[in-house]
Amino acid sequence: MADGKNPLLEALPPATDYLTYLTIVEYNLSKENLSTLHEVLQDPILTANIGWDLIHLLIPLLPASEPCLQDIARLGNPREVVLKVTEALRLLAICGDYVAPAENDTATGAKERMDLSASSEAESHEGGPDNGEATEAATGLPYQ
């Protein structure tokens, strides 16, 4: 982009096919390009074709990528978007870490780490459920 041209705009279909454009987006995606990507995702046909495949690229850039993810949710292929979001949530659960707003500072968006593996560890050590204590500790929600 040293010459002032943005590859996300220069390679827009029909200049390239959707798969090539997706590769260009993946290679050039950064926090600085998110506003350009947000503009590009206003095209419902483009978003329906590639939006679902951008989800895994945009999640690590949260919260800055939220407008792009909202565009994908609004204009993307619903079935594919639901599948990709479900896959992303499953990967978060497998990793065992979840970032949640701090109880005392939700207005400023402060974050605290929570270990979701606590409930599964309690079950594996005890050989069964722990009456919801680990679930309450990990999620802050009462066990029912």
CB-facing half-sphere around the CA of 118: CA atoms within 13 A: 15
Highest mean pLDDT of the ranges 25-39, 84-98, 107-121: 25-39
Residue type, 128: G
Using CA atoms of 128, 130, 136, 141 in order, give the dihedral in degrees to the nearest 10.
60
The pLDDT assigned to 63 comes to 93
The pLDDT assigned to 29 comes to 94
Least confident of 3-7, 67-71, 121-125: 121-125
- E strands, 96-135, where? 97-101, 111-115
More confident residue, 45 or 97: 45
The pLDDT assigned to 88 comes to 84
Q: Are 103 and 93 in contact (CB under 8 A)?
A: no
